[in-house]
Amino acid sequence: MNTRSLRFRMTAWYASLLAGALVLFSASVYVGLHRYLDLSLRRLLTEQAQSIGGELLIQLPQKGPDWLKSEINEHYAPSENARFIRVNRNDGGLVYLSEPPKNESFDPAVIPMHPTTGAHDYASNVEISGRQKLMIEQLTFRMRDGSAYAVTIGAPYQQVETVLHGLLLTLAGYTPLMVSLAIGGGYWLMRRALRPIDVITQRAEGITSTNLSQRLPVIQTGDELQRLSTSLNGMIARLEGAFQHINRFSADASHELRTPLTILQLELESIAQHAQLPRALAEQMGSALEETQRLSRIVENLLTISRLDAGEGRMEKVRVDLGKLAVSTAEQMHLLAEEKLISMQSKADEQVWVEGDRARLKQVIVNLIDNAIKYTPKDGAVVVAVTSDGRSARLEVADNGIGIAADALPHVFERFYRADKARSRESGGSGLGLAIVKAICGAHGGEVKIVSREGKGSHFIVELPLCDPGKHRKFDHEKVGEDGRPGVWTTIART
Ligand SMILES: Nc1ncnc2c1ncn2[C@@H]1O[C@H](COP(=O)(O)OP(=O)(O)OP(=O)(O)O)[C@@H](O)[C@H]1O
Ligand SMILES: [Mg+2]
């Protein structure tokens, strides 16, 4: 458990505050009830003593001690009610003493007198007598004839203690239960409260430079969370603007460079073809022409990639048999392989249909085969294969060439990255081929993976989604593709 997390800290605070409040509450309830029960019992005993003193003792001189005994026994039944009652004359003479209680929990004979002074003097105490605690109240009554009597009355204190004990047990049992419930509830509540942040975080993690048009969900809470999501969306919008600006700039720059480069290339070609050129100059012209062609290729690649980035690369959505496309492309590039005495095999499953832009998909195959041939030494082998697993189409281009070092592997799809700069430049590479492959795969909802070991060869795997089999397609002979090829597939809903 992460003890620094907001959820943990808030729950801990909440639980400690609740526990503190509950302990305080329990303590005050306990003290309050203790006082109340104490006071009630005292009041009851005082009332009983007063009624003995006020109603019975007045008649004592006329009616005698036996009458008093029977009156007290009849009205207060001390033995049955576990009450202690004693009436003493002031000179110490005993007038009445109650019988021991039936349960013999205390002995009335051993309960001491409390010294009192003045009329209606009062003493109160809790005594331990035998096995029991007794609450004792003692009142002094002065008669008209000058004599004085002390009425002492006691009741077991156990009743009060039993109630208090019960309360203590209840509080001790319920307080931890309430705190545990508060911890569980608090944790759950915090989780609920923080869930929108989780959603924002997950969505934010999925937003990269390629899908900056996406936005985070705005939580309509009218508080900091809503402000956070709107501000983050504002930031993403500004980033999107900046990215678009950069992409448009690269696309515009590449586009602008294209025409002068083509003119330059044509001019150089026409000069190079001039028969009377001195040999040295002709060689220089040839080299300049090569460089111009290289430059044109780079500009063309840059234009492609920045258009894909900006989402401007108009993509046809046609049904393409990836297997056939790969096999025919491999055949077209056969000469390139033969030049280096590399054997090239291509095989494909039947009917591996994907939906996308034919020219772009072909570019993926060309770039991968071009690399395989370029980075495989003489007498090597290149295999191109297309298969389908029912869910996605798989294009594989494998070679047994120089391979890629483990530290270079994560970078090969980066723009202008070349694992071996000297060799790559020699072969005319600019490091944009795989970046284009990745961008095209991404635009088709697919991905490209690589397995390679230095000195052993490389294996590129492109996975593209197969055409949705739930849709019925019909061939539209009238429609003509951008490149002039007829036969664009259109999708119509199944009826
Ligand atoms: N089949 C392969 N075998 C070994 N290394 C490879 C292979 N394919 C790519 N690489 C390495 O990855 C780097 C990047 O490849 P990428 O195709 O992007 O650039 P390039 O081939 O150098 O230039 P370009 O494709 O733009 O002409 C290459 O420079 C090369 O070092
Ligand atoms: Mg390449």
Can you give the three-state secondary structure of 53-71, one letter per residue?
HHHHHHHHHHHHHHHHHHH
The CATH number of the domain where 402 resides is what?
3.30.565.10
Instruction: Identify whether 414 is part of a domain.
Output: yes
**Which residue shows structure tokens 């429609």?**
479
Residue finishing a domain among 289, 309, 329: 309
Same domain, 356 and 466: yes
Same domain, 331 and 274: no
For CA atoms 299, 300, 306, 307, the dihedral sign is: positive
How far apart are the CA of 357 and the centre of ligand 1, in A? 23
CB-based contact 167:156 (threshold 8 Å): no
Query: Between β-strands 343-348 and 381-388, what pairing exists: parallel, antiparallel or unpaired?
Result: parallel
The token pair at 292 is 């111009």
Tell whether ligand 1 has an atom less than 6 A from the beta carbon of residue 434.
Answer: yes
pTM: 0.60
Same domain, 242 and 333: no
Nearest atom within ligand 1 for CA of residue 432: 26
Instruction: Identify whether 172 is part of a domain.
Output: no
- Burial of residue 31, with CB atoms counted within 10 A of its CB: 0-12 exposed, 13-18 middle, 19 or more buried: exposed
The CATH number of the domain where 118 resides is what?
3.30.450.20
Fill in the DSSP letter of residue 445: T
Tell whether ligand 1 has an atom less than 6 A from the beta carbon of residue 433.
Answer: yes
Nearest-angstrom CA–CA distance, 264 and 289: 9
Nearest atom within ligand 1 for CA of residue 421: 29
Same domain, 301 and 323: no
Instruction: Identify whether 352 is part of a domain.
Output: yes
Same domain, 337 and 474: yes
Residue finishing a domain among 279, 309, 339: 309
311-328 CB burial, b ≥16 within 10 A, e <16: eebebbebbbbbbebbbe
Same domain, 119 and 268: no
Instruction: Identify whether 97 is part of a domain.
Output: yes
pLDDT reported for residue 452: 95
CB-based contact 132:159 (threshold 8 Å): no
Same domain, 291 and 158: no
CB neighbour list of residue 333: distance below 8 Å, 6 or more residues apart:
344, 366, 369, 370, 373
Per residue, the 3-state secondary structure of 376-440, as one string, reads CCCCCEEEEEEEECCCEEEEEEEECCCCCCCCCHHHCCCCCCCCCHHHHHHCCCCCCHHHHHHHH
Spans of the chain, pLDDT less than 70: 116-123, 127, 129-131, 311-314, 421-428, 468-495
Residue finishing a domain among 309, 335, 363: 309
Same domain, 295 and 333: no
The residue whose CA is least distant from atom 11 of ligand 1 is 419
The CATH number of the domain where 291 resides is what?
1.10.287.130
Same domain, 297 and 357: no
Instruction: Pick the ligand that lies closest to the CA of residue 370.
Output: 2
CB-based contact 240:212 (threshold 8 Å): yes
Same domain, 347 and 386: yes
Instruction: Identify whether 426 is part of a domain.
Output: yes
Nearest-angstrom CA–CA distance, 302 and 249: 11
Tell whether ligand 1 has an atom less than 6 A from the beta carbon of residue 454.
Answer: no
The residue whose CA is least distant from atom 19 of ligand 1 is 431
Specify the number of domains making up the chain: 3
Pocket test for ligand 1, best of 424, 453, 456, 458 (most atoms within 8 A of CB): 424
pLDDT reported for residue 277: 80
Fill in the DSSP letter of residue 466: B
Nearest-angstrom CA–CA distance, 162 and 132: 12
CB neighbour list of residue 314: distance below 8 Å, 6 or more residues apart:
482
The token pair at 491 is 């999708």
Look at residues 295, 274, 283, 304 and name the one whose alpha carbon lies nearest to residue 366.
304
Helices (H) then strands (E): counts for the chain: 10, 14
Nearest atom within ligand 1 for CA of residue 420: 31
Backbone region of residue 97 per phi and psi (left: phi > 0; alpha: psi in -120 to 50; beta: other values) = beta
Look at residues 257, 301, 251 and name the one whose alpha carbon lies nearest to residue 415.
301
Instruction: Identify whether 29 is part of a domain.
Output: yes
pLDDT reported for residue 148: 87
> In degrees rounded to 5, what are phi and psi of residue 122?
-135, 135
Same domain, 265 and 353: no
Instruction: Identify whether 209 is part of a domain.
Output: no
Tell whether ligand 1 has an atom less than 6 A from the beta carbon of residue 186.
Answer: no
Instruction: Identify whether 19 is part of a domain.
Output: yes
How far apart are the CA of 427 and the centre of ligand 1, in A? 10
Tell whether ligand 1 has an atom less than 6 A from the beta carbon of residue 363.
Answer: no
Tell whether ligand 1 has an atom less than 6 A from the beta carbon of residue 380.
Answer: no
The residue whose CA is least distant from atom 13 of ligand 1 is 418
Same domain, 15 and 159: yes
Range of the domain at 253: 224-309
